[in-house]
Structure 1
Amino acid sequence: MTGDTGRHIELFTGAVQLPPEERAEFLDRACAGDEELRCKIEVLLNSHDRAGIFLEEPATWELDETRLRVAAGEKPGDRVGNCRLLQQIGEGGCGVVFLAEQEEPVRRRVALKVIKPGMDTRSVIARFEAERQALALMDHPHIAHVFDAGATASGRPYFVMELVEGLKITDYCQRHSLPLDARLKLFTHICDAIEHAHQKGILHRDIKPSNILVMTGQDGKPVPKVIDFGIAKATGGEPLTDKTLVTSWGMLIGTPAYMSPEQATMASAELDTRTDIYSLGVLLYELLTGATPFDTHELLKAGLDEVRRVIREVEPVRPSTRLSTMAAADLANVAKHHAAEVPKLIREMRGDLDWIVMKALEKDRTRRYATTNALAMDIARYLAGDAVLARPPSTAYRFGKLVRRNRLWFAAGSMVAAVLVIGFVAVALALKREQGARQEADKARQQAEVDKTQSQQATRFLKAMLEGVGPSVARGRDTRMLEEILAKTESRFPVELAGQPAVRADLQTLLGRVYRDLDQLPKSEAMLREALELRVGLFGEESEAVTDTLIELGYTLSYSSKGTEAETIVRRSLVTRRKLLGEEHGKVAESYYVMGSIFWARQDIPEAEAMLQKSLAMLRRLHGDKSALLGDSLMGLGCVRYGQKNYREAEDFFRQALDHWGDTLADEHPSKILCLENLANMVSIQGKRAEAVPLLRQVVETNRKVHGPDHALVAKSLHSLIRVLLPMGKFDEAEVAGREALAVAGKAWGTTREESLMILRDLINALLHQRKFEDAERLFADLLPAGQELTPEYSGLLYERCDTHAMCRRWREAADDAVLLLKQSPESHEHYLTLAPLLVQLGDLAEYQRLCASICGKFGETKDVFVADRMAKACLILPLPALDLKAVAAMAERAVNDGSKEVAAPYFQFCKGLAEFRLGHYEEALTWTRRAADGPFREAKAGAFTVLAMAEFKLGRLEEARAALAECDKLIAEQLPDSEQQIGREWRDWLIIQALRSEAKRLMEGEAD
């Protein structure tokens, strides 16, 4: 807080009584430049708005009675689907596995896995279904097959899979004393299975011995089966589940001893197939040595932070070192289970196997094997006696491998070589060939110099021409003209540059960059790949020209959402540039900048920051403030600070970038436009919206100038402007911007795209605040014609239409929309509270009774205080004899106890008082409603006075009852709409108050029972 708690509560109380459009001006005067105080009050206002209009929270809604009872859980003898359960054979954190007999389509024994009773939370169901879908996607002999799937009578998912009657892989190897070669061959089968999963777009993320079962096949050979994809992650486009599946930030996914360093960072966005390769490396380590690289028990005793540190930073010892440092008894035991002598076992482990395991266990995933297939192939090379790729490829090592594979051949060859070495004729011929080669090399160098000169001349000419009509200053027809020029230029390459590959490579690199600026990414990528091939052929892999093309290709791939390949390519450029140009060079700084941009696009914020800081520091050391790339690095760091929610530093970096560019970069340059929009967003986030508005208007005008009036970027920048104008209460300006944005969006995307619908919602919001209900309805009619089947993306608009009908007192139309909303999103508690007061207003008491019964069954155990309060309130509008009042009162009790420190506590107190009144506890009702009546919220106060009046009447105190009802009438007359005025967005509260007020009047007039 600001240090003055009373001050911010006083200001909040004053602001909340004002209409929304007047609050900004009030806070401007009251806060007097104290941004921190203003932000705190705005948070309280938002919280109040949530309480007042009952914000949406996820839930589920079914009237099926089987979903309202708690399942007792399955047991042997029960039937699930077409299976009869025989016995329980396993149990995990959230699932139970049974041995079952499937009776159709074929009779066989299977494993049936079902979620435990009580564990069927949304996240558990989502993970369970993810495993089910992951297994169903795959068809591999070493992955357990899925035969069937469904849900039990109580709604808990299950699936039927192949029964794997085997041992975990480490136990199998120990029990059968498998020798080293047999273990490696078994391991390659597992690699094949995981490679199959990766090709299907699935990561396992929990590879460990207990998830790999091995049984003996009919031919006596071991047959491994990979199971338990319970925390699998889809890496491709195939969704694993349509349930919400979220890996919480701060939750370790996997088993610590087998967990990769990127898993230990607890950022699931960083995971890819190389995560499974690390876990396979741990498994291979254990198969070879009998132990994991880090002791599991010691890891778990150390605590979470130490577990993460060890996995990320501590290098494990090599397998051969682990064996040689074991106690003698332990080493003898390991050798016994390998069916080998101790010296031989250590000797076989040392060298190639060490290299293979340690490459799989690299902390930097870019240095691991790229695929599981590559790991399996290296093991196959070891078994065949070939050189493995994991080992540094020295000539002596490769030659030694060749000799060991072909001992007899080399013995004979050595004798022949000894005879040939004696001959001087071969030496003379070799000298002559060398002289000829030198002459050819000189000619090639001379031609290369000519090509280079021609290339530089042609490139300078074309570059000067393109800069005159470049994409940053193109307009409408100019852009199409530029594309035509590029196409004609490209078509002349094969004929006119047939003998000048260096010139062609230079021009294609330039054209690739221009195509990227024009957002023609496939053309850019094709052009740059061809240029790269030409330059590698001309100058070799390690050349400066090749690094230039690699950088451009990396840019294009990152824009094409091919971040992994882009990172590999730019790292290749960085390594070569540092080798050729040294550690301190402008092009090295450029490589760091591009790497940072790629990491930012992938939301790897720590890596992005490290690379961009290196780029910025090097550019300043080399060029001071004169580098053109300096502004891009500053803007990149601004984006990083935004990702870290450090908005003030982000703003500072964006301002530095704009100051650096100054007049040297045209206002129409894409980088400058983007930086200006980023700056506007930063000042808006910090509450300085008045400062953001002119910046965003400048962005809108520049986008119109650069791209034309109907471009998608114009619609996006207009939408950003609307989002700033609405909370400022400038609804008329927001309406003007919204109408233009909607028209542009319709031309750029069509009216059904998500961006268009978001603009439409904000436009309708501006209209509703101005009470232009007819205009809002016309927009609804155009987009949601009568009788049209509504799809989920329209639910936000349907909600706005329901609000519009209600604010215009068209209760039947509002109720029809509320029914549609509930049908479309039965998990939303807000839709129940939307429908309940409408049914009361329409007098549809039977449907209201059914709705309240459903609410009790669905939300009776909710822990969310806001949901508990709102659902209890929805059920207490009218006295319902058949309602389970104790269940409703329990929700009200939970809200008032657990939410006592919430800003919305007076709402909870009103609801609690109403619940006590319905139970006939009139003194308790008075206690709670008096507290609510003393609070700052007008709706809670008005409702509290109605309950006070009825409770006093029931206690025989007629004068006090009449006084309380008079206070309610006075509050409604002064602060709430009367029966003739239009109602605002608080119409739900208004209907509840009106219903309670009518009940109180009937009670006092003797009309009630």
Structure 2
Amino acid sequence: MSDPKLRALALFDRYVGLSRSRQRQALEKLRESDLATYHALASLLDADRMQQGLLDTTAAALLKPPRESADARVGHRLGAWVIARLISSGGMGTVYEAHRADGQYQQRVALKCIRRELDSPTLAAAFVRERSALAQLEHPNIASLLDGGVEADGRPWFAMRYVEGVSIDQFCDDAALDIHARIALLLQACNALAYAHRNGVLHHDIKPSNLLVTPEGQVQLLDFGLCSAMSASAPEPAPEAGSGGALLAASPGYTAPERLTGKLASVSGDVYSLGVVMYQSLCGDWPLPSTFPSAAPAQPRPMDELAAHATVRTAQTRGLRNARALARSLAGDLTAIALRCVDNDPRQRYPDMQAFGDDLRRWQRGYPVSARRGGRVYRLARFLSRNRLPSALAGGVVLVLVSSLAFIGWQWRQAAREAEATRTVGRMFESTLGAATLSGLSEAPISSQVLLQKTERQLREQRALEDHPVLLARSLATLARSHAMSGDYPQAMRLAREASALAGDDPVLRAETEATLASLLNLQTSYREAFRIASAGLTALQRARGATADEAGLARIHLQAEQARAQWGLSNYGDAMVLLDTAMAAAKRRGPESSESLAELLILRGQWRVLPWTPEYRLEPAINDLQEAISLTETSNPLLADSARLPLVRAFNEMDRIEEGRSHAVLLVENRRHRLGDHHPETGKAWVALAENQWWLGQFADAEKSLRRGEAILESVFPPLHPERIEVLKIRGRMDMTVRWVGATRHDASTVISLDAVRKMVAAFDKSEGPESNLAINGRYWVALLLTYPLPREQRWQVAHDQLEEARALYELNLGIMRRKQAPAMLQKVHYARALARMTQLTGYADDIRLAQQVLKEAIPETIRYLGPEHRLLIHARQTQAMLLYQSGQFDEADRLLDGVIRDARAAVPRPTANGVLIEAQELRGLVAARRNQHELAREYWQQALRDADQMGLTGHPVVLALATTLSQYDRTQRVPDIRF
């Protein structure tokens, strides 16, 4: 036994008899002098505090390395997972790295088991409670549950998402993060805990080691081993009304004092623990003194006082020169927030994590925090603090409106006579839009037209603006962006054009207003006009000799971004990416002050990389871009972070990472409804994204409801051929395909898109956007699918030859365009091969079979390159290959291929489209067996297909009815039927 463990055993009896508070303080002194002994002794004391089931374990046994028992599991299999190595062994559980072992797909997980030497009924119950809690939670900042089971000896285990990261305190210090960056990480933890609390789960063990941060800067909340369920009682109930069980274990210094005295758990306990983490992160000290407390309870010390005595290294790892600078940065609001979290009286703490996070967000944005309870003087000071630039209008309004373009806050030099006008407008905005923020309503929906109309009316009544058109132009541009955020594009355009006319000869202001106007035009698909106006703004900037480099630089970034959007809309993809990369490089050079501009550009690139039929289609890089944008803006501009979540959900869906997409889709709808209201177009888009995710999960009824909600909102805002309306129709088209081949028999047939309607849409796209536009390509593909797969209610499973010829022409046109663009086209190639296979059923032409085989030969490696070797599209491709082999008389090869197709279709995630493939593959395998005179085997395959269809709820589907008829006729005649698909 090593020396630290021997010292820990010698100290155990002395420490175990101390009161909880004295024990905690003594441990802190030991931590400062002997860290190794502290860890060993803390492990002993933690185990001692557990229930009687653990008291039978000796202290010496507890200090034995867990590797003896832990390594016994390495190399063994639990459920679908093979254990690769030991990661860590804590007070109750052992965590391993494990990998998928059943061959279905590759995945790495963190697998948690009970420590064999600490087995007890109490510990097992806590372990199962942790697993149950994780099963309820799906959040980007919580390591989610993936699987669970029971070992052969009855001990429970579970697998959760593997997190590559370090503890939050180590991450902050290693990266020398400043105070703002540390607060941003704490806010991620707040969001995760608020979500857990909303779902009725208390954590009980918040500490840095349970808050890991990934290399991308995303916080991951771990270890719900001490969690409990919440009741519907008050946040800080009396013991008899509380929630949560007895204290199973405690983390010294982080556990709320009332828990150490035996009171039951509540939300305020988690608030206290995260408050201590805040102390550790910001000032590097503890809220309670390290010496033993006196008879009276010790009062938490203010954070700024502790910071005044910090070491130089502590200050420098927070980006500050010395302890005095650190204390100044923490004084006031941050100290008040931290003190409220760790108040000895739970009733004085924040009532919940949401309130804690709200105060941190107010501090970030320069608004009054509730912990200060300040009066009018304090509120005025905060207003002036967040508006340090000469125009009080600039900074204040942008924080209220959360505009996507951040150049309202530019500094400009005003003549002395403009000072009074600026103050007048600032007071006016403060009394209307700004009042919502000052009263703590900064998270209220911002789509109120009444509020915006009132603001505009009061603005125009200001006589002080009559002689200051520049100030009026900036004000109108602000209101224009606000109307765009609320979905009122006509009013936004009117105000933007008026602002542009008022800009006059001021080149920076002209650039600012024209970037706003170009942005609005891009939103309405007027790409050529948007590009012309953005180019004019850049030309004006070349004459901006009097403007500072900072002003001109930020304006140039946004104008280049709008140029890039316009070029992309015009299908000039290479030019768009060059402009975007140029703007992104400029934003990175500007550093943290341009983080939101950089996030906007990352979102734009991520959106483009998610779009099919373009040469920039790259899903993994798109996911990286979008996650980085969320990390940059999650706390500083949550609306912008949500803008990244929208394409991120779609990227996850396309990559078959449906569950990851679901957590973001649910959070997106929740956030949009909370911040923008139920009728905002962005809320409509969020519902559409959720509908698509639900469709992939096979939740057809929920998907239909979500799609209807989103569709109703978007129809009230956008014209019929707007891209957002087309997105709804595209998803509804996928639901139509579900009607045809997956078998969602309860789908409302009245919502099915007609072939004529899509043809008219394509004609409109060809005329307005050009035949090579993304919209036109997607429309032709849609028509081809409708021609190849007729509606089941029409009972026309044998497609007419002229329909397939039309589909062939559309596929050839699209594939020719995409070859010229050098864009991936694996999805269209697989469906084209399917159409050709159908055509050979009618014509018997060998040339069509050879062409289909060549198309699939191109599609399969392309699918692997862009989507990975396990993607669902490969199942469709191999099933089509098997059909072609069957038609060519290569029955043995077809049978071997179908064996793998059926196996993969059964294991496929998501299920919906795999259901139809599974039924078809088994029917085709029956045909192969029949051709080989294996009559009983043919019946067995067809009967299995009917049993699978019954389990899927597809018994009444036309495809299944046709299969039943085939089986009946075959039993009577022994005649091999024709292919029916």
TM-score by length of structure 2 reads: 0.41
Based on CA coordinates, which of the two structures has the bigger radius of gyration?
1
TM-score by length of structure 1 reads: 0.40
Query: Larger RCO: Structure 1 or Structure 2 (Cα < 8 Å, ≥ 6 residues apart)?
Result: 1
